[in-house]
Amino acid sequence: MHLSVLSRWEIMSDKKKLNSKYRKYVDQQAHLAPTTFKERERIFRSFPDPDGLNGDHFRKRMKQVSPHTLHLELNLARRFLKWAKMDDSSLSKENFTPPSRNKDVVTVADLYTHDELKSIINACTTSRDRALVQVLYESAARSGELLSMTFERLKFYTKRNFELASIIVSGKTGTRTIPLKASVPSLKEWIEDHPTSKGP
C-alpha cells in the first residue's frame, strides 16, 4: 500500500525545500510505487528553479552524470515543462540531443559458471551472505527487492519430495512470486542463525 502524498512529504520535510511548482506536480504522482516516487522527488530537488530548467542546465549535467541519468532527468524535465505549460523549446529533440545510451548486451560468456558461483558462495563468511548470493543468482531479483524483503514473504514447502521455497518481491515492475530450489538449504541455515528465530 502506497504512502499518502501528505505522509510522504512529512517524511521528506527535513530536506531541501522543493519549489512550489515542482511540489504541485509531484503531489499528483501518488499512484507511483514508493521507490519511483522517492527517486522523482530526489531529482526535482536537484533541479534549478523551473525558469532555469533549460538546455544550458542539461549541457552542464552532461559533464556530471552518466547518459542514463541524463536521459532520466531530461525526460522528467520535459514532462514537467509540458504539464506546467512552460516553454521547453531549448529541450526539444530538435534543439537538444543528449548522448546515446549504449545498453550493454549480456551474453552467456558474461554469466557466472557453476564453479565460479560455488567459489563466490564458499568465500562468503556468514550464512546471510551465502543465502543472499544464492537467492540473487537463482531468482534474478533486483538487489533492492531482496534487501527490502521480510521473512513473512518467504515460504517453504515440499512438492514431490523436494524441499522448495518461494519469495514474494516488490519492485518497480510490481509484486511477483519467485520459486526457489537450490537456495533452500542456505535460506534455512540463515533463518536458523538469524536472531529473530531464537525468540525474544
pLDDT score recorded for residue 129? 92
At 142 the pLDDT is: 87
Amino acid at 104: D
Question: Which residue stretches of the chain are H helix?
Answer: 5-12, 20-27, 34-46, 55-62, 67-83, 114-123, 127-139, 143-147, 184-193
pTM for the model: 0.53
DSSP code at position 22: H
Mean pLDDT of 92-111: 75
pLDDT digits (tens, 9 = 90+) for 115-133: 998 999 999 999 999 999 9
Q: Per mean pLDDT, which range of 21-30, 103-112, 130-139, 179-188 is the poorest?
A: 103-112
